[in-house]
């Protein structure tokens, strides 16, 4: 994990190489009782419809440890519902992050204060901004697998000033840009 020393709406608090480095022990040390989760490219790539064994085990470990979780996704429709079918988490789809409505609704569903929760996502201008604006700390993972469209390349380029110096992000960027 890499801790971001700079503070501000656009800076994540901590970067992780992937979700599996975030453990119940770590969250308990940080006094985090709940996670507000982005789905696409944070937990699973777009084309993965349902959690695989490794993802399911991660969710199970969190639940067992009493970590509350909810999905807040800008994706709407069946994709999020289908992915959540076996997990059964509170789900706020079409959330329009960076607006904070979805994040606040998730906090209230989990009965957590902003200080007790952490946001987890792959994007600065939606996930990070929405969580910080709602008063939550934010954990960033590099996107699992970006769509290789000019729009996505442009987004990642714009994120670079905030996260570009971090090892996990540099590795990610060099991987996508060389393809
Ligand atoms: Mg995402």
Q: Is residue 61 in some structural domain?
A: yes
pLDDT of residue 96: 97
Q: How far is the CA of 112 from the centre of ligand 1 (A)?
A: 22
Q: How far is the CA of 141 from the centre of ligand 1 (A)?
A: 9
Q: How far is the CA of 48 from the centre of ligand 1 (A)?
A: 13
Is the pLDDT higher at 138 or at 167? Answer: 138
Instruction: List residues, by chain if needed, whose CB lies under 5 Å from ion ligand 1.
Output: 38, 40-42, 122
Mean pLDDT, rounded, of the chain: 92
Quick one: pLDDT band at residue 178, thresholds 50, 70, 90? very low
Q: Is residue 164 in some structural domain?
A: no
pLDDT of residue 40: 95
What's the rounded Cα separation, in Å, for the pair 42 and 19? 7
pLDDT of residue 168: 72
Q: Is residue 82 in some structural domain?
A: yes
pLDDT tens figures, 83-105: 999 999 999 999 999 999 999 99
Q: How far is the CA of 42 from the centre of ligand 1 (A)?
A: 5
Is the pLDDT higher at 165 or at 59? Answer: 59
Q: How far is the CA of 91 from the centre of ligand 1 (A)?
A: 15
Q: Is residue 158 in some structural domain?
A: no
- The pTM score is 0.92
- Domain holding 109, by residue range, is 2-146
Quick one: pLDDT band at residue 176, thresholds 50, 70, 90? low
CATH for 73: 3.40.50.1000
Q: Is residue 48 in some structural domain?
A: yes
Q: How far is the CA of 4 from the centre of ligand 1 (A)?
A: 20
Quick one: pLDDT band at residue 165, thresholds 50, 70, 90? confident
Q: How far is the CA of 138 from the centre of ligand 1 (A)?
A: 13
Number of domains in the chain: 1
What's the rounded Cα separation, in Å, for the pair 71 and 94? 11
- Mean pLDDT throughout 59-77? 96
Q: Is residue 57 in some structural domain?
A: yes
| CB distance 71 to 37 below 8 Å | yes
pLDDT higher than threshold 80 for residue 172: no
Sign of the CA dihedral with 20 first, then 24, 28, and 31 last: positive
- Computed on alpha carbons and rounded to an integer, the radius of gyration of the chain in Å comes to 15
Q: Is residue 87 in some structural domain?
A: yes
Q: How far is the CA of 121 from the centre of ligand 1 (A)?
A: 6
Q: Is residue 153 in some structural domain?
A: no
Q: How many residues does the chain have?
A: 179
What's the rounded Cα separation, in Å, for the pair 177 and 63? 37
Q: How far is the CA of 36 from the centre of ligand 1 (A)?
A: 12
Q: How far is the CA of 115 from the centre of ligand 1 (A)?
A: 22
- Mean pLDDT throughout 54-69? 98
Q: How far is the CA of 44 from the centre of ligand 1 (A)?
A: 9
pLDDT of residue 25: 98
- Mean pLDDT throughout 117-138? 97
E-only strand ranges, the chain: 2-3, 14-15, 34-37, 68-72, 91-92, 117-121, 137-140
């Amino acid at each position: 994990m890499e801790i971001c020393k700079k503070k501000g709406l656009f800076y994540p608090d901590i970067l992780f190489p992937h979700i599996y480095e975030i453990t119940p022990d770590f969250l308990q040390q940080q006094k985090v009782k709940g996670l507000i989760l982005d789905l696409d490219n944070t937990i699973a790539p777009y084309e993965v419809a349902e959690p695989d064994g490794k993802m399911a085990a991660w969710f199970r470990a969190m639940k067992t440890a009493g970590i509350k979780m909810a999905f807040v996704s800008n994706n709407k429709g069946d994709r999020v519902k289908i992915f959540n079918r076996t997990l059964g988490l509170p789900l706020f789809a079409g959330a329009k992050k960076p607006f904070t409505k979805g994040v606040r609704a998730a906090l209230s569903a989990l009965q957590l204060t902003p200080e007790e929760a952490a946001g987890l996502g792959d994007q600065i201008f939606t996930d990070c901004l929405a969580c910080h604006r709602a008063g939550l700390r934010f954990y960033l993972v590099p996107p699992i697998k970006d769509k290789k469209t000019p729009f996505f390349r442009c987004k990642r380029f714009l994120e670079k000033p905030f996260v570009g110096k971090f090892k996990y992000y540099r590795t990610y960027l060099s991987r996508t840009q060389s393809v």
